[in-house]
Amino acid sequence: MSERHARSVLFPGIGPEGQARISRTSVAFIGVGAVGAAAAEIALRAGFGRIALVDRDVVEPSNLSRQVLFDDDDARSVRPKADAAADRLREIDPAAAVRAIVADLEPGNACEILGGHDLVVDGSDNFETRLLVSDACRALGIASIYAACVGEEGRVAVSIPGKTPCLRCYLEALPPPGEGPTCDTAGVVPSLPPLVAAIAMTEALRFAAGETPAAGLLCLTVWSGGFRSRRLFEQARPSSACPVCAEGRHPALETDAADLVKLCGRQSVQITPRGRPRPDFDALERRLAGVGRVRRSPQLLNADLDGVSLSVFADGRCVVRGTADPACARGYYDRYVGG
């Protein structure tokens, strides 16, 4: 057993056999933001065998206060988060098997991206993606861990097909999207995401080592009145009204990807053109170089112009930064990229 993991092996709950199981476990992280970046680093240092990082976004200056795998160079060069995070993890452990996937998880690609992994850690920032991850993992028979935080509150839940309710069963009893706080309205305590990530990855380690993860939905608050935690639905059974657990359906896989998505936490809108044409970066760079500052990498082309920033990805997506108005974002896209 590698000296790198000697202290884990000494812990009776893991031991040599548990560490060997961890080393054979493949985990995919959906979202490499505040929670996902911290969780991915813990996974790498703990010795998980294969790590996939899935993220659709790029590094921005506002990320640097809480997203631990990125630095100022990443933000200035507008690097895709998945690429930047993968490179940082390889610096920590050059022998690690780390794969970056710069993509928007959607119904058409979710099963392909998540398939082949033993565990999925969901650190996404919106309910649509969370339900998509939950439904896809159920369809594939893969265990998943939901980890999220906003304001002063964090949540962690483990979902194992055939053993626990799915995420829909938990979320249907909570305020629906639009009625609770979001990072746009409540911000986030900067020390909270690593705490949520640590709890989620402790459950991931227990799962990989052969232990039974804790049941229910763990909710914790860290600011008003100090640290407090409570566990909801600890004895819950799958809901009889859940289309996944009761009917064997996977609704999130049956819908089309949204054309316009307002991104959480900033003045940004993602545009996904129908058909996802692969952009001609050479032609686009020539066209935009005369009207703004253009930066380019194999995965994206970024242009700062006319008060907004456009990030065009190799898979055809475009993120318009500087506006939260979908109609305005669509106008910029049509004007500079092409409708």
Interval 237-249 mean pLDDT: 90
CB 330 within 8 A of CB 260: yes
Percent over 70 (pLDDT), the chain: 92
Encode 72-89: b = buried (16+ Cβ within 10 Å), e = exposed: eebbeebbbbbbbbbebb
Residue with the two structure tokens 């409540």: 186
How many whole angstroms separate alpha carbon 126 and alpha carbon 30?
A: 11
Interval 231-259 mean pLDDT: 86
pLDDT at 255: 75
Q: What is the pLDDT of residues 72-82, one digit of tens each?
A: 999 999 999 99
245 a catalytic residue: no
pLDDT at 177: 46
CB 192 within 8 A of CB 154: yes
Interval 26-44 mean pLDDT: 97
Maximum pairwise Cα distance, the chain: 63
Q: What is the DSSP secondary structure assignment for residue 80, as one 8-state letter?
A: B
Interval 171-183 mean pLDDT: 57
pLDDT at 7: 95
Cross-sheet strand order for the sheet of 260-262: 260-262, 268-271, 318-321, 308-313, 300-305, 293-296
pLDDT at 310: 92
pLDDT at 145: 98
Interval 117-127 mean pLDDT: 92
Q: What is the DSSP secondary structure assignment for residue 266, as one 8-state letter?
A: S
Catalogue all structural domains in the chain, each as residue range(s) with its CATH number.
3-254 (3.40.50.720), 260-336 (3.30.310)
Residue 172 structure tokens:
């249907």
pLDDT at 181: 59
Q: CA nearest 200: which of 87, 49, 31, 16?
A: 31
How many whole angstroms separate alpha carbon 78 and alpha carbon 97?
A: 24
Is the pLDDT reported for residue 43 higher than 60?
yes
Is the pLDDT reported for residue 323 higher than 80?
yes
pLDDT at 187: 81
Catalytic residue among 166, 169, 183, 264: 183
Is the pLDDT reported for residue 13 higher than 80?
yes
| DSSP letter for each residue of 92-117 | H-TT-EEEEEE----TTTHHHHHTT-
pLDDT at 185: 55
Q: Compute the mean pLDDT over every residue in the chain, rounded to the nearest whole number.
A: 89
Q: What is the pTM of this model?
A: 0.84
Q: CA 80, 86, 87: angle at the middle one, nearest 5?
A: 95
- Which residue type occupies 88? R
Is the pLDDT reported for residue 107 higher than 60?
yes
Between residues 94 and 315, the one the model is more confident about: 94
Where is average pLDDT lowest: 12-21, 113-122, 199-208, 257-266? 257-266
pLDDT at 178: 47
pLDDT at 53: 98
Q: What is the pLDDT of residues 194-228, one digit of tens each?
A: 999 999 999 999 999 999 888 899 999 999 999 99
Between residues 27 and 273, the one the model is more confident about: 27
Q: What is the DSSP secondary structure assignment for residue 59, as one 8-state letter?
A: -
